Amino acid sequence: MVEDAWHEDYIDAPGDGSAWTTGGDPGRRVLRGGSWFNGSRIGRAGVRDGSVAGEPGTDDAGFRLARTL
């Protein structure tokens, strides 16, 4: 889950990569990609859905770690 509030589309989204915290549905956050439980089509980072803020995770949501080598 990311900091962005849920919006149906990218109209008026910030162009500088900052979190989009205004407007939309502030009770939901953007969830990107899927997890081991999902197929490869849903596991892509480009797939997005809304998730209730503060809800515990499920087997549909995972997390990624990144490291610079």
Q: Residue 39 domain-assigned?
A: yes
Spatial contact of 53 and 29, defined as CB atoms under 8 Å apart? yes
Q: Which residue do the tokens 């995770």 mark?
A: 57
Number of domains in the chain: 1
**Residue 57 clears pLDDT 60, i.e. is over it:** no
Tell whether the model's pLDDT for residue 38 goes beyond 80: no
Range of the domain at 47: 5-52
Instruction: Evaluate whether residue 61 is within a structural domain.
Output: no
Is 64 contained in some domain? no
Does pLDDT of 10 surpass 80?
yes
Identify the band that residue 15 occupies on the pLDDT scale cut at 50, 70 and 90. Answer: very high
pLDDT at 32 over 80: no
pTM: 0.60
pLDDT in the model for residue 14: 93
In a domain, 69, yes or no: no
Give dist(CA 4, CA 7) in Å, integer.
Answer: 8
